[in-house]
Amino acid sequence: MKLSGDILYDHLKDLYKVKRYGTRSERLVLCRPLLYTGADNEFLSGRVYVAFSDQLPGDPVLKSESVLVCVGGNPATRYLTGCADCIVVSGQSDLFTIFNQIQEIYDKFDRWELALQDILDTDAEVNRILEASAPIFENPISVIGSDYQFLGYSKIIDELDSLKIYRPDENNRLPFESFSNSITGVDSNMALTTPFCLKVNGKEHLVSNLFENGVYIGCLKVACVLRPYRTSDNLLAQYLAHILEKAIPRLSNLSYSSVDIRRDMFKKLLLGAPLEVTRRQQLTLVNETEEYLAMKIVRSQRVKKKVPAVYLCEYLESAFPGSVAFEYQSAIALFVVVREQNGGIEKVRSILSDTLKPMQLRAGVSNRFSNLALARLHYQQACIAMEFGTFRRPNYVYYLFSDYVLRYMMYSCMGEFPSTLLFTEGFRRLEEYNRQASADYLETLQIYLNNNMNVTKTAEDLMIHRSTLLERLKRIEKLLESDLKDPDERLCLSIILKIDQIQRKDAREEYKEKFPEPAEMTDSRQHNYEYRELEKQI
């Protein structure tokens, strides 16, 4: 295997006192060393020369990417400032000992190259490749796929408890804590074709992306925690990355997995695209056996580190066995299988709380369904739950569509009109009268309708005399100019009252967010005054 000046220098400085001059050789182009005999003054590119400093010629012809290992002190200035890479070994060093030591360095890398080629020629197993590379990097190594599943990692990670943070979780995935701590410009990092370093917990982590036909398929990571990072590690990581790029595609399962099939099917259902005949047949089979919940997953506004969507999808699929997740319209669409034998809907809610909160995610959740042809409509339910729930309960982790059905129906029935244009003239007269009256006539009407026009029950709820209630109802009917015995009239009034009630409640909550309850009495009086003014506007 050909080496570079960086590799030779990094290895020699572990054994001897060395200094480096000239133009550095940073590519893997150097053949095995030659002992300089003094017969020639030309130093060729791609060669390593071992020589006594005082025996070097006075008129050298130095070529770029040639390396001189000088023993016995500094050579002439032209060697130290020329285009060759000059490594000076100080102290009482023997020329032949240095020469043999460099040969051993080459032997070490030749063994590595042969071992990697042998693995490629047989099973191309990633863990074997990493074990063969362990003596080269002397640090824990891992290979992680584009879906953030571990493709392999070096044995030492399991052997040392101090390295347990580099182990995969129970789903063979990069743990969320470890991943979120290493995030720094993730999207741009994935496009880099040369090795780069990340600083995690004060330690260098060398990363080399892996590609197949220009498409990102994962990355090689070397955690520099057992020995310090070296400049030459970049070249070696790049070399190992090329080996892995040959091995990983051979290990890939080219057949379409059942999860891939369902994911593709759900994507097409959400997009409204037609399904192939085989997919439609699969829909019929699935409809008979499974129940689902559709969810819309979004990140919290406060999250600082943006975890890639592909990682979140993998994380969610492992949390909900049998589910599928994918990025859809700036969110994540998640379809979860609900199985009663596994705890049913309550188990799903428990997992949602445990999974979403630490990742600072929120979910809108549909009603359960089995007809996958309606998946798009149920995902729309999840979107509606997210929209209404985020406004009403911003600190919640998930929102159920069933909790917001009535509110959605109320707002939907308004169509393109503002609520006031849906109110009948009679209702507006009642509202105007109610503002001036000492009693709350709207409340009286609401309770009366809620009690199915039961006068006795309504009077008890309002804590007024029956005759007083009858007088109020007589005035209400006169203002409304409607017959409350007509079921259609009652239904219309119930809807109007519910819309009015919801809007008042939303306005109060919005006001409380803008004007929190004050501590001092003077501010409290002002608060109450502004609150009454808001009531008048409503």
Q: How far is CA 288 from the centre of its chain?
A: 34
For 363-372, 398-407, 417-426, which range has the lowest pLDDT when averaged over its residues? 417-426
User: Which amino acid belongs to residue 457?
Assistant: K
Mean pLDDT of the chain: 83
Query: Helices 233-251 and 95-121 sit at what angle, rounded to 10 degrees?
Result: 20
- Dist. CA 410–CA 417, nearest whole Å: 12
Q: What digits encode the pLDDT tens for the residues 272-283?
A: 776 665 555 555
Which residues neighbour 29 within 8 Å (Cβ) at sequence distance 6 or greater?
2, 4, 45, 46, 65
Query: What's the rounded Cα separation, in Å, for the pair 44 and 529?
Result: 92
Tokens of 74: 């500094």
Instruction: Indicate the burial class of 472 (C-beta count within 10 angstroms; 0-12, 13-18, 19 or more).
Output: buried
Q: What is the pLDDT of residue 65?
A: 93
Lowest mean pLDDT among 46-50, 113-117, 421-425, 447-451: 421-425
Q: Check residue 535 and give its pLDDT.
A: 47
Q: Are residues 13 and 88 in contact, defined by beta-carbon separation less than 8 angstroms? A: no
Quick one: pLDDT band at residue 530, thresholds 50, 70, 90?
A: very low
Express each pLDDT in 292-340 by its tens digit: 899 999 987 665 566 778 878 888 888 888 888 999 988 999 999 888 7
470 HSE (CA, 13 A, CB side): 4
Alpha carbon distances (Å) from 214 to 11, 178, 217: 34, 27, 9
The percent of residues above 90 in pLDDT, for the chain, comes to: 39
The Cα 418–Cα 415 span in angstroms is 8
The CA distance from 446 to 443, in Å, is: 5
Tell me: pLDDT of 115 over 90.
Answer: yes
Per-residue pLDDT, 330? 86
Task: Take residue 51 and report the two structure tokens written for it.
Answer: 């020589």
Percent of the chain clearing pLDDT 70 (strictly above): 83
The pLDDT tens digits of the residues spanning 509-529 come to 655 655 555 544 344 344 444
Q: In whole angstroms, what is the distance from residue 102 CA to residue 264 CA?
A: 56
> Per DSSP, which regions of 394-522 are E strands?
398-400
**Which residues face 52 on adjacent strands?**
71
Element holding 93 (H helix, E strand): none
pLDDT at 531: 43
Per-residue pLDDT, 57: 93
H/E stretch holding 413 reads helix 405-413
The encoded tokens of residue 376 equal 């798009």
**Range picked from 179-188, 344-353, 415-424 for highest mean pLDDT:** 344-353
Q: What is the mean pLDDT of residues 14-36?
A: 93
